[in-house]
Homo-oligomer: A and B are copies of this chain.
């Protein structure tokens, strides 16, 4: 607590690292590229898991667990897939004191090992659809790492489904994209653009990759989740076949999809400020903290008792705790709980006691509201909902204000450098124009929106006629 968070306006990157480490969300580990997720960060992840897992199960998915290790040869079965992932792999060459006959790759993603099992399990149309999800750790070797956003090891979920028809697989990929979009908006209070990745940006081995893209306060986009329609690319490579109702043999149609602990990084950036974290109530491990203020022993006795009763009253409905420590001052406690992002603080001092009330202080804007003790549960609930929806509204306004139309390439480059954000621009569809934007501006096509972009225009780069616009941005 003696340390000070670097102001965001001074150094965005240091601000981010300061918030993550000083709030004790996470820490650097002695292993290069690997992080430690501390209890506060992990409990945010548990909240995300709880919500997403419920949505996956509601839509018929089941969890399972597949091996951490993948024989190197498996990665090679799908040509594009190995090209994309082989350079990032950690390789186990020795086990039990001996050199292995075939090296094992630590999973960077599990398509290959999972589909080898599907080839064994799936025989008939009656076995379909297979709707399996896995919560797991994965490893992708990274040179430049950032806590949560880019680490060699990270935690994620990866869904892997197999279907009898192409249409079913496409529906599944879009159903999951919608689950992701709603979770990120409803719980993380983070609005996103949804759409399709270009050919050059899609998942290695996919037919089509759908994604959700958020905008961070520094004007950079962040890919928050992807859902892939894999077509029959993997089912052909791994011979995942089934007998149809008509008695023929066919390859299954597949999807895979995932979100990771990277979401925690997005959450920190989206809502944090120079005082630290600011967590949306629905994902805050502690939603309400009660901080008593006393001077005399008699005040302490009475106020501590009221605080304890309030915890009892609130804990059925909210994640609440009282900070009754003696060794630190109320002001110190205010700072600490603000740093840790608790959305609502209930202060109670001698004057509040007299008035039979708490003083509620919102983390987001420090706005104060007296809350009568008799209406504690109802008012706390209303305040938390208000905070949750205002956080989303604020983020929505930011996204709207920082999404601009780009029709002139020079003006676009200037705006990109000066203000960042998303740019709606026409693109002719050629890989050449896409590459030129990336090479010249470091911005990429984040996604091709699924609807509403079918107007006529001119490609931002080459001026050719274009029938659609796309979202451009620099990205994490």
Check B31 against A141 for contact (C-beta < 8 Å). Answer: no
On chain B, the residues within 8 Å of A126 by CB distance are 327
Closest Cβ–Cβ distance, residue A25 to chain B (whole Å): 11
B30, B41, B64: the one contacting A113 at CB < 8 Å is B30
Is A452 an interface position by the 8 A CB rule?
no
Within the assembled complex, what's the spacing in Å between the Cα atoms of A350 and B153? 58
Query: Quick check: which of A91-99, A413-421, A437-445 contacts chain B, the rest being far away?
Result: A91-99
Closest Cβ–Cβ distance, residue A405 to chain B (whole Å): 40
| CB closest residue in chain B, given A134 | B42
Within the assembled complex, what's the spacing in Å between the Cα atoms of A34 and B27? 31
B34, B46, B71, B74: the one contacting A68 at CB < 8 Å is B34
Is A403 an interface position by the 8 A CB rule?
no
Near B by CB (< 8 A), chain A positions 152-167 give 152-153, 155
CB-CB contacts of A141-180 with B at 8 A, as 1s and 0s? Answer: 1110000000011010000000000000000000000000
Closest Cβ–Cβ distance, residue A104 to chain B (whole Å): 7
Is A38 an interface position by the 8 A CB rule?
yes
Is A39 an interface position by the 8 A CB rule?
yes
CB-CB contacts of A52-92 with B at 8 A, as 1s and 0s? Answer: 00000000001111111111001000000000001111111
Within the assembled complex, what's the spacing in Å between the Cα atoms of A41 and B69? 20
Q: How many residues of A contact B (CB 8 A)?
A: 58
Check A71 against B31 for contact (C-beta < 8 Å). Answer: yes
Given contacts A91-B93, A92-B90, contact A39 B68 (CB under 8 A): no
On chain B, the residues within 8 Å of A68 by CB distance are 34, 106, 137, 139, 153
Within the assembled complex, what's the spacing in Å between the Cα atoms of A30 and B75? 13
Check B92 against A92 for contact (C-beta < 8 Å). Answer: yes
| CB closest residue in chain B, given A45 | B65
Within the assembled complex, what's the spacing in Å between the Cα atoms of A30 and B72? 12
Check A96 against B92 for contact (C-beta < 8 Å). Answer: no
Check B27 against A117 for contact (C-beta < 8 Å). Answer: yes
Closest Cβ–Cβ distance, residue A469 to chain B (whole Å): 37
Near B by CB (< 8 A), chain A positions 8-50 give 27, 29-31, 34-39, 41-43, 45-46
Check A31 against B70 for contact (C-beta < 8 Å). Answer: yes
Q: Give 6 closest A-B pairs by Cβ, nearest first.
A: A96-B141, A34-B67, A39-B62, A37-B65, A91-B94, A90-B95
New A-B contacts (11) at CB < 8 Å, excluding given A31-B69, A34-B69, A36-B66: A27-B117, A27-B121, A39-B64, A39-B132, A45-B65, A90-B96, A91-B95, A92-B93, A93-B93, A96-B141, A97-B141
